[in-house]
């Protein structure tokens, strides 16, 4: 879900990739359904293991797994406490989706704000390498 929101709303400032410790075999049908309600199509998405996403070049890891990552990570780690809706009702997926959307939007706004010079409301004219989040 986070990757879908990041790609839809923040592709100008985020290059998103998602992966997990123990990824499922498929994107859950209820995940697809609740994201489609936000006009985000996950047909091209599939669960990936951490080994399938190279860490090099990323500036930030967003951890939604509920598990603690090693403290010696080479880049910033932010933990988002989102209850996994897997195996629950559709409304649980909606709650998780809405929490993730809110947090992703806050991150996008934070990154956009940090890419502006002080006292200026427009982005820097020079190209800025997109921040990457997982």
Q: What is the pLDDT of residue 116?
A: 64
Query: Which CATH number is 2-117+124-133 given?
Result: 3.40.50.2300
Cα–Cα distance measured from residue 13 to residue 59, given in angstroms and rounded to the nearest whole number: 12
Instruction: Count CA atoms closer than 13 A to 106's CA, side-chain side.
Output: 9
Confidence (pTM): 0.81
Q: Is the pLDDT of residue 121 over 70?
A: no
Domain boundaries, the chain: 2-117+124-133
Q: Is the pLDDT of residue 106 over 80?
A: yes
Q: What is the pLDDT of residue 75?
A: 85
pLDDT in tens, 41-93: 999 888 888 788 877 778 898 999 888 887 787 888 899 999 999 999 999 99
Token duo for residue 62 = 């967003």
DSSP letters, 58-115, are -SEEEE-SSSPPPTT-SSEEEE------TTS-HHHHHHHHHHHHHHHHHHHHHHHHHT
């Amino acid at each position: 879900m986070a990757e879908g929101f990041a790609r839809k709303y923040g592709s100008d400032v985020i290059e998103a990739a998602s992966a997990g410790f123990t990824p499922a075999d498929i994107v859950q049908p209820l995940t697809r359904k609740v994201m489609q309600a936000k006009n985000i199509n996950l047909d091209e998405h599939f669960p990936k293991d951490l080994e399938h996403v190279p860490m090099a070049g990323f500036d930030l890891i967003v951890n939604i797994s509920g598990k603690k990552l090693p403290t010696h990570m080479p880049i910033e780690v932010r933990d988002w406490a989102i209850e996994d809706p897997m195996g629950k009702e559709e409304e649980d997926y909606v709650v998780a989706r809405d929490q993730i959307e809110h947090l992703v939007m806050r991150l996008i706004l934070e990154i956009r704000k940090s890419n502006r010079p002080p006292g200026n409301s427009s982005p820097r004219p020079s190209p800025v390498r997109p921040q990457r989040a997982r």
